[in-house]
Structure 1
Amino acid sequence: MAKNKAAKPRRPRAETPRGFRDYFGAEVTNRAEMLSRVTAVYHAHGFDPLESSAVETVEALGKFLPDVDRPNEGVFAWEDDDEGWLALRYDLTAPLARVYAQHRRDLPNPYRRYAVGPVWRNEKPGPGRFRQFYQCDADTVGAASVAADAEICGMLGEALEAAGIARADYLIRVNNRKVLNGVMEVAGVLDPADPERDAARRGIVMRAIDKLDRLGLDGVRALLGAGRKDESGDFTEGAQLGEAQADVILGFMDARAEDGAGTCARLRELVGGSATGLEGVQELETIAEMLAASGAGHVVIDPSVVRGLGYYTGPVFEAELTFEILDEKGRKRQFGSVAGGGRYDDLVTRFTGEKVPATGVSIGVDRLLAALAAKGRAEAAPAGPVVVTVMDRDRMAEYQAMAAELRAAGIRAEVFLGGGNMGKQLKYADARACPVAVIEGGDEKARGVVQIKDLALGARLAANIETREDWQAQPAQMEIARGDLVAEVRAMLARAGG
C-alpha cells in the first residue's frame, strides 16, 4: 500500500494580474522626464503640487464612474473593521474634492494644484486598457468664471507641446454638459423640476455618446435604444429611448459646423427654450473668444464630447491626437484622446454643503507616452552607469571607493557585485547599456594606473570576450594614471554623448 506523501506546498505563479503591468528602467525614466516638462507648464501658470492618499473612503470617492456594471461600481474596494468601506482612488479629482473640503481654511481661494500618480479602476481589461494607469492633473477650485475653464484648455495645449506633440498634431474639443442637459430636456429624459428622475437613463445616454469614436453612430443608436451586444457576446443595456428621442440626441452629436459660431447657432436651436441649455451655449461662446484671444492651440466646439464621469456640471473638454497610426490589424486610424476634463461644481459641495466651483483636466500619462513613441519623439533609452569591474575580490573596498569618487564628481557609477569572469561582467555592462568600464587588477594597482574602456564600441563584442587579455586586445581602451580617473572618464563620456 502506497504511503501518503505530504503534498508539496504550491508555488505562487509569477505573473501580474490581468489588466496590470510592470514598468522597467527606461519606461520609468522617460515617464519622469516627460512629466517634468508637463508639470513645468503647470508650475509656470501658478499651480502648486499636491500628493494625496491612494486610498479613500468609498463615501468620499462617490459613485461617478461610467462602468457601473463592474463589481463595487468600478472601484477596488474592501471593508475595513475600523474605517468602513475603503477603496483605491479611481482618479485624482475626487480625492482633490475631499482634500479641499478638509483643508479649505488653510488653502488659498482659488486653490490651484497639479498632481501626478497611479489610479485604479475595476474595469474589463483589454488591449491597451489597463486597470492601473497614471494620470497627471491640473485643477482650479474656487473659481466660478469660465475664464478658469478657458485657462485650463489653453494650458493643456501648452503641456502637450512641452511634452513633444506638435501643434498640428492635436485638437482640443470643447462642449458643455449644460447644453447636453438642455437637449435631454427636449428629448424628454430630464425634468428640471425633478432632476433625480431618469438619472440612470441619462447616465446611459452620456456613456453612449462618449463611445462615438469607438462604436460609430449605429453603435451609439443601439445603446440609446434597447442595447448592444459586442463582439465577445457581452450585452450592454440601452437607455430604452424611442426613435424620436434618439434622433434628438443624435442631432445634438452631429451639430458641429465649420466654425464655433456656426456650431453654437445650431446648439441654440437644439436646446429650444431650455434656460440651462442656453446658458451652456453662452459659456461655450465665451470660452471660444478667450482662447482665440490668447492664441491657444487648435480648439473647436464639438457637441460629441461629453466625458464619461458623472460629476461634470459645465464645460467639458478633450485633447485628441489627430495623426494616424496602425492598429493591431494593420489598419490606419487616428491615435485618439490622451486627455480630458471639465467643470465639476458640485463635487466639493458634497462635503461642505456650500457651492464650491471647480474645473480641471487630466492627462493619461501612459497614452501620451505611447503617442510620443508612435511619433518617434520618445526619449532615447538613457545610458547606464559607469561600471567598475572586480578583478580581485579581496580589494572590494577599494573598488567601492573608486565608484564613490566617480559619483562624488556627478558621474553615475556602480561596482559589479555579481560573480563570474570578465566575460560575465561585460555581458552585464552590455545589458545595462554602461558607457564606460573601469579595470584595476593587481598589476595596474602596483603601477598606479587603471584601464578605462569605451563600451559603445566594445558592447557588441562582449559576448565573445572571456579573458582579460581578450578585453585588452579590443580598441577604445586606455591606460591612464589613477589620479586622472574622474577627468578621463568624464572626457570619454563626453565623446560618447553622455
Structure 2
Amino acid sequence: MAKKPNKLKARLPRGFVDRSASDIRATDEMMTKIRDVYERYGFDPVEMPMFEYTDCLGKFLPDTDRPNAGVFSVQDDDEQWMSLRYDLTAPLARHVSENINEIQMPYRTYRAGYVFRNEKPGPGRFRQFMQFDADSIGAPGPQADAEMCMMMADAIEALGIPRGQYVIRVNNRKVLDGVMEAVGLGGDENADRRLTVLRAIDKLDKFGVDGVKLLLGEGRWEGGAPEKGDFTNGAGLNEEQIDKVLFFVGITNYSESAEALGDLIASSENGQAGITELNTIGSLVASAGYTEDRIKIDPSVVRGLEYYTGAVYEAELLFDVTNEKGEKVQFGSVGGGGRYDGLIKRFTGRDVPATGFSIGVSRLMTALKNLDKLGTDDVVSPVLVTVMDGDTESLGRYQKMVQDLRNAGIRAEMYQGNWKKFGNQLKYADRRNCPIAIIQGSDEREAGEIQIKDLIEGARLASESTDVDNITWRESRPAQITIQEADLLDSVRTLLAQHAEDRRREAEGA
C-alpha cells in the first residue's frame, strides 16, 4: 500500500506578519495625511528598488566579510552580492550619487516602503516593516534641520495627536563629539568605544541612569544578575568620565545649562560648532511659532546609526500605554533622523550635505489605535446581490444590477458560491457585514420588482426581544421592502444614508 504523502504545513516565517484589510486601510489613511504635509512643504515622491548591491548599502550595518550579517542577501549571476534594503536612506544616497548631475539641488524628496533586517525577531521586533522618510539633499544650513523638525511636528498633529502628547527632541552629534573629546575619547583610535558610549546613552529610556552608568563602565548583566541573563560589555569609562557623560545627557533645561555645557566642551571646536547649530535651530523654530512643548533641545537624544554628523532629532509620544508586563509606560519614539553629510561622499568623493528623518509606520499606527484616531470602521461592506436562478440569462441580469450599483459609486458584489442554497447566501452576507441584500426571483422579475433586505435593521429587530434598553431615537423600519426595478439605485442610496445617520447618532450617544 502506497504511503500517503504528508501535507505541507502552512506556516508564517518568524518576524513577518500578514496584514488584514483594516490594517491596510488604516495604513493608507495615515500615510495619506503624512503625505499631504510633505507635499505642502514642497517635497516630491521618489522610489527605489528593494534590492541594492550590498556594498552600496554601506559599512554601517552589513559586514562586508559576512554579506548576510544583519541583511538578507543573495548573489547575482555575476557573483555580486545584493541585499534587501535595511533602511530607505542608503538607497537614496546611491540614487542621488548616480544621478547627481541631473538632480536639482536642494533635492527635497519623500518615499515609503518596506525595509528588512536579518535579525532575531521578538515582541514588537520584526524582520520586515514599513518606513516613511523625508530628506533634503544639498541643504547645508541648520535651517534645513529646523524645517525637518517642524515638518515632523506638523505630520504628527495632522494625524490627530494633540500638543502635549508629543514632542520633537533635538540634539547635535557635534556637541556629543565635543563631550567625547572632553572625556578623552577623541580620534579614530577610539571610534569603537565612542560607538559603545552612543549605544549606552541610547538606552537611557529603557534602563534609566543606573543602567546606563553600568554600560558606560564595566558592563551590565541583563536582569541585574548573572543568573538572570547575558552580560553586555561596557565602554570602560572611569567615574570622572561617566559623570561628564551623564551630566550632558541629564540636561533637562538646555538654556539654563548652556554655560556649564559650554565649559565642558570649551576646548572642542567641533563641539562649539554644534552648540551654535543647536541655538540656531532653537531660534528658527521659535520664530515660526513652535514652542518648547512641540520642539525641544534635548542632549539625551543620540540616534543609533554612526553616519549622523550634525543635528539629530526624534519624535516621541508622551502618553502612557500598558506594556506586555502590565506596567504603565510612556509610548516613546515613533521616528527620528538627523544630518548625514558624509553618506553620499562615499560614492562621489565630494561633500554633499543631507538631512532627513524616518517614521516607523507600524509603530505610529499602534499609537493611533491607542488614541482611537483611525477611522477605518467607517468603511461600508458591499451590498450583496443574491442569485436565485443560475442560468446565463438570469446571471446577466444580476450582474447588470451589480454594475449599476458600482457605477453609482456603491460597493457591491454578486454572490459567487453555490446559489442553490439561498440560506448560505444570507449567512455569507452576515459574515461579510453586508448592509443590504438584493433579491429577485422569477416572481419578482415577472412583476418588474426587487426585494431589498435591510440586514442591519433585521439584526436590530431580532435583538429587541432581549435588549430592553434599545435605542429609542431610531424609528422602526421594515427589514425588507419591495421596490420597482427602476428605483434600485435611489432605494439603496436612501437606505445607506439612513445607516450612516444611525452610526453618527450612535457615536454622539443620542
What is the TM-score normalised by the length of structure 1?
0.90
Task: Give yes or no for the alignment of 1:247 onto 2:247.
Answer: no
The runs of 5 or more residues in structure 2 that have no matched partner are 464-476, 502-510
Match of 2:208 in 1: 216
> What does 1:11-50 align with in structure 2 at a 5 Å threshold?
11-50=7-46
Match of 1:268 among 259, 262, 271: 262
Q: Which moved more, 1:371-380 or 1:235-244?
A: 235-244
Task: Give yes or no for the alignment of 1:435 onto 2:435.
Answer: yes
Tell me, in whole angstroms, the C-alpha distance in 1 between the residues paired with 2:406 and 2:62: 50
Deviations 1:118-163 (A, max 9, x none): 1111233222222211111111001001111000100111100111
Task: Give yes or no for the alignment of 1:153 onto 2:149.
Answer: yes
Asked if the contact 1:430/1:462 (under 8 Å) is kept, the reply is no
Deviations 1:65-102 (A, max 9, x none): 4999x983422222223261111111111111111111
Tell me, in whole angstroms, the C-alpha distance in 2 between the residues paired with 1:433 and 1:63: 51
Tell me, in whole angstroms, the C-alpha distance in 2 between the residues paired with 1:446 and 1:278: 88
Match of 1:336 in 2: 332
User: RMSD of aligned C-alpha atoms?
Assistant: 2.4
Asked if the contact 2:175/2:271 (under 8 Å) is kept, the reply is yes
Local SS of the residue matching 2:317? strand
Amino acid at match of 1:373: K
Match of 1:325 in 2: 321
Asked if the contact 2:67/2:81 (under 8 Å) is kept, the reply is no
Q: Which moved more, 1:312-321 or 1:433-442?
A: 433-442
Match of 1:476 in 2: 479
Local SS of the residue matching 1:324? strand
Amino acid at match of 2:241: Q
Q: Which moved more, 1:216-225 or 1:110-119?
A: 216-225
Local SS of the residue matching 2:16? coil
Tell me, in whole angstroms, the C-alpha distance in 2 between the residues paired with 1:332 and 1:493: 42
Asked if the contact 1:65/1:310 (under 8 Å) is kept, the reply is no
Match of 2:310 in 1: 314
Tell me, in whole angstroms, the C-alpha distance in 1 between the residues paired with 2:264 and 2:435: 64
The runs of 5 or more residues in structure 1 that have no matched partner are 464-473
Identity of aligned residues (%): 52
Match of 1:199 among 175, 184, 191: 191
| 185 and 23 in structure 1: CA distance in 2 versus 1, 3 angstrom threshold | same
Task: Give yes or no for the alignment of 1:490 onto 2:506.
Answer: no
Tell me, in whole angstroms, the C-alpha distance in 2 between the residues paired with 1:362 and 1:73: 23
Match of 2:180 among 173, 181, 184: 184
Deviations 1:424-465 (A, max 9, x none): 2223223322222211122221111112222223357899xx
Tell me, in whole angstroms, the C-alpha distance in 2 between the residues paired with 1:387 and 1:461: 20
Tell me, in whole angstroms, the C-alpha distance in 1 between the residues paired with 2:105 and 2:365: 33
Amino acid at match of 1:435: P
Local SS of the residue matching 1:496? helix
Asked if the contact 1:176/1:315 (under 8 Å) is kept, the reply is yes
Amino acid at match of 2:255: A
Match of 1:469 in 2: none
> What does 1:5-84 align with in structure 2 at a 5 Å threshold?
6=3, 8-65=4-61, 72-82=68-78, 84=80
Match of 1:389 in 2: 386
Aligned residues: 478
Local SS of the residue matching 2:500? coil
| 235 and 122 in structure 1: CA distance in 2 versus 1, 3 angstrom threshold | farther
| 123 and 249 in structure 1: CA distance in 2 versus 1, 3 angstrom threshold | farther
What is the TM-score normalised by the length of structure 2?
0.88
Match of 2:450 in 1: 450
CA drift of 1:410 comes to 1.3
